[in-house]
């Protein structure tokens, strides 16, 4: 399988852009608590991607949704995420800040904040899941599907590295540097979103492909 799925996932998840949120939510944590949060978030991100790759197709079949329709819808989600990133916002961030804070408070009362809100929705959300399902549907062999799941490992490792080095990254890049990186990834994601939507529209409306 080509590396385009990995590039797309790295652009959407973009753990570098979530570093400020990680620092904010873990500022009162001990070193052990922070380390636990890093590993939990990394494993959770991998599990979301792996589950989407292995079960996403079954969900499409259950609801009788064609891949082309899902590509158009998923492409729109990717474009929305790209627009968020071009505005220096996390791709999967909710539009309502109070909802995110509410999610953090609920997580603190029960589940770890590593899962909510760091992994869901900040790292992996609808756009990430849609992308994985689309590429899983295109996988022709078990090896290709396994490779897609393997990309989830890469995302998990990237998340662990960025969160572990959160403080040095914040000091070196600063808010401006992180914003620049986020905007560049957003530009790449916008181009990929157009390709995904174009593939779906071409299948749904073959006349669009005629000369």
55 occurs within a structural domain: yes
- Check residue 134 and give its pLDDT: 92
- Check residue 96 and give its pLDDT: 52
- Tokens 């295109």, residue? 138
For residue range 175-193, what is the model confidence (pLDDT) as tens digits? 899 889 889 888 988 998 8
Closest to 128 (Cα-Cα) out of 60, 47, 21: 47
**b/e code 160-178 from CB counts within 10 Å (16+ = b):** bebbbebeebbeeeeeeeb
9 occurs within a structural domain: yes
Domain that holds residue 76: 4-206
The stretches in the chain having pLDDT less than 50 are 95, 106-111
15 occurs within a structural domain: yes
66 occurs within a structural domain: yes
211 occurs within a structural domain: no
**The token pair that represents 64 in the structure block:** 């009788």
50 occurs within a structural domain: yes
Helix (H, G, I), strand (E, B) or coil at 177: helix
d(CA 76, CA 67): 14
- Check residue 101 and give its pLDDT: 55
Q: How many distinct structural domains can be found in the chain?
A: 1
**The token pair that represents 44 in the structure block:** 């959770």
For residue range 76-105, what is the model confidence (pLDDT) as tens digits? 988 998 898 888 887 776 545 555 555 555
């Amino acid at each position: 399988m080509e590396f385009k799925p990995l590039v797309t996932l790295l652009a959407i998840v973009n753990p570098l852009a979530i570093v400020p949120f990680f620092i904010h939510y873990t500022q009162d944590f001990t070193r052990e608590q922070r380390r636990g949060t890093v590993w939990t978030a990394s494993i959770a991100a991998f599990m979301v991607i792996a589950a989407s790759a292995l079960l996403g197709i079954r969900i499409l079949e259950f609801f009788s949704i064609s891949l082309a329709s899902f590509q158009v819808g998923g492409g729109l989600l990717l474009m929305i995420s790209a627009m968020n990133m071009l505005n220096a916002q996390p791709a999967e961030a909710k539009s309502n800040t109070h909802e995110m804070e509410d999610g953090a408070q609920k997580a603190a009362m029960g589940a770890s904040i590593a899962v909510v809100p760091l992994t869901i929705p900040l790292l992996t959300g609808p756009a990430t899941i849609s992308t994985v399902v689309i590429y899983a549907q295109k996988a022709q062999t078990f090896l290709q599907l396994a490779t897609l799941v393997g990309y989830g490992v890469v995302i998990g490792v990237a998340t662990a590295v960025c969160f572990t080095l959160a403080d040095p990254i914040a000091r070196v890049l600063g808010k401006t540097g992180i914003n620049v990186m986020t905007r560049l990834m957003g530009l790449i994601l916008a181009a990929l979103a157009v390709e995904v939507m174009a593939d779906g529209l071409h299948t749904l409306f073959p006349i669009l492909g005629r000369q």
